[in-house]
Chain A
Amino acid sequence: MAKSTQGLFFFPPHLPHQTEKPIVSVKGVSLFYSNGTALEDIHFDVVAGERLAVIGPNGAGKSTLFKIIAGVLPPSEGRVEVYGNEPGKHICIAYVPQRNQVDWSFPVNVADVVMMGRIGKIGFLRRPTRKDWEIVFQALETVQLQDYAKRQIRQLSGGQQQRVFIARALAQEAELILMDEPFTGLDFPARQAILNILDILKEKHVTVLVALHDLKTASEYFDRILLLNHRLIAIGKPSEVLLPEHLLYAYGGQLSLIPTEKGTWAMEDTCCEEGDHFHA
């Protein structure tokens, strides 16, 4: 079980944001396990409203980095600040897990899952109000699942499952959403639906960090790319990051670079069904 900084017992803390500070500031974060190093001396900032792709091979520490930013895992060294405060003091950070991290045969329906995002705001010993339900249905409309509210989650397709999670983050009124490999295992239309939702989030000025494998999607749809393999190899605009030397350094033998007339093609050897998992 991961440790986290917790607030005053019955009152989830939600500190006022110091909006002049970057929404995410990762300062020298490292995480060591008894059998190795998951992350080493990571530094970077994210400004509000930005869309950042985090790419790297399997086991590069993408999920771990997200969990540290969300305040779910404590780093061994360094710290993360969200609007100037530690992440454990915010309820505006949503971590959207990989789909295989959740039991989809759990006896809840779509609206129940989205309502879970409101629990921090509803508070102890209270039931959802009409306003909570309105927010839940708005979130479902945003991801175009309003007709599925009563559906048992077992009956959803992969893309729909992913959209339920995003709706849950919306219901949480998250200002920072960390999506862990949302595209993995999805077909083209389902990916496209999620990319459309990312555009809606951009309009709402929500900051989104997405871990993904597809370099093409990363370069076409994201403001900046962070290339990670335990260490931060490069961060910047796609054209600055997706250089052969960076990619070779990050992926090593897992990547083949094929020079063509139109530029360099990168091909990943590994499949990404499992993603990287780290359990403390």
Chain B
Amino acid sequence: MLEWFLQPLQYPFMVRGISAAVLVGIVCAVVGSFVVLRGMAFFGDALAHAILPGLAVGYLMGGGDRQVLFWWALGTAVVSGLSIGAVSRSTRIREDTAIGIIFAGMFALGIALISTVRSYTVDLAHFLFGDILGVTPTDIQLILIFSGVVIGLIFLFYKEFVLLSFDPVLAITLRLPVRFLENLLLVLIAISIVVSLQTVGVALMVAMLITPAATAYLLSKRLPVMMALASGIASFSGITGLYLSYYLNIASGAAIVLTTTLIFFLVWSGQSLWQRISKQIE
């Protein structure tokens, strides 16, 4: 049994993959709690997809250099996040329609750019579905730094973010810089998405943001508890997913997302069942 746990850990790429999955899980869970409470799941999904052209340009220019790729992705994510935010505030068409148009267009642009390269399908697959076993020590450093920045800023502006998410009108009457705080939150979501890209990729990104947070939401009455619980669920899913991927030989990003989805359904059905039983007892 112990052997079963230890065997994958003799490979440095597995250790790096697990560290990345845990770190990313925590960041996404904390930021994702706001995404879930503010009903921004579609925004998160769109933003992850909108990064693809940035990844493509970084890839074409850097020739595979991880750092170049990272900075291009980060730049694109921040710009797309803020523009989607601006469009959804000022448009005459519905917000979700506007987001949908931008995200599909950006995604298509990304695919078009990547398709100019010959090894197109393999590279595209890495961007779309992640490549967590290819995480390098440099990647871990970048993930660590930016996770720290995101968590730190959430901690500093915690009470303002909670207020803004619960009752934006009160935030205005207390004369807080509402626009600044909203944009800051969008930027933090964008950064979280970029640091998580390697674990699950663009296509499954939204699961990292919302599934652990939604599971924790079912189980908690206060936001700090929800965030802690979501972080635990996300880390556990990351580790479990990687072991599943190792032993069953399935794609790691998919394995992580499937684990977290399974936990959600277990909690959700357990809770529904429990409510039905306790109602009958009454």
Contacts and interface: CB of A to CB of B under 8 A. Distances in A.
Contacts of B172: 2, 4, 70-72
Nearest to B219: A107
B169 A97 contact: yes
A107 B178 contact: no
A120 B178 CA distance: 12
A107 B160 contact: no
B169 to A, nearest CB: 6
Contacts, number: 96
Given A1-B89, A119-B159, A125-B156, A106 B176 contact: no
B226 interface: yes
Interface in B150-209: 156-157, 159-160, 162-163, 165-170, 172-180, 182
A69 to B, nearest CB: 10
B163 A116 contact: yes
Interface string B140-157: 000000000000000011
Contact of A94 (B37, B156, B173, B217): B173
B170 A116 contact: yes
Interface in A84-113: 88-91, 93-95, 97, 101-103, 106-109, 112-113
Contacts of B37: 103, 106-107
A176 to B, nearest CB: 10
Nearest to A90: B175
Given A12-B175, A12-B176, A113 B89 contact: no
A124 B160 contact: yes
Contacts of A207: none
Most-contacted residue by chain B among A12, A116, A117, A124 (CB, 10 A): A116
A107 B223 contact: yes
B173 A108 contact: no
Contact of B166 (A2, A72, A113): A113
Given A108-B222, A125-B156, A119 B169 contact: no
A89 to B, nearest CB: 8
Contacts of B182: 1
A12 B175 CA distance: 6
A152 B168 contact: no
A10 B157 CA distance: 12
Given A1-B89, A88-B175, A91-B175, A152 B169 contact: no
B221 interface: yes
Interface in B215-247: 217, 220-223, 225-226
A264 interface: no
Contacts of A79: none
B175 A6 contact: yes
Nearest to B36: A107
A172 interface: yes
Contacts of A119: 159-160, 163, 174, 176
Nearest to B182: A1
A89 B175 CA distance: 8
Given A107-B221, A122-B159, A152-B221, A116 B167 contact: yes
Interface in A214-233: none
Contact of A4 (B165, B166, B178): B178
Contacts of A2: 169, 172
B176 A107 contact: no
Nearest to B171: A119
Contact of B169 (A88, A91, A95): A95
Closest 5 CB pairs of A and B: A120-B174, A12-B175, A152-B221, A4-B172, A107-B223
Interface of A: 1-2, 4, 6-7, 9-10, 12-13, 67, 70-72, 88-91, 93-95, 97, 101-103, 106-109, 112-113, 115-117, 119-120, 122, 124-125, 127, 152, 168, 172
Given A2-B169, A12-B175, A102-B167, 11 more contacts: A72-B169, A72-B172, A95-B169, A102-B166, A106-B165, A107-B37, A107-B221, A108-B222, A112-B162, A116-B166, A122-B159
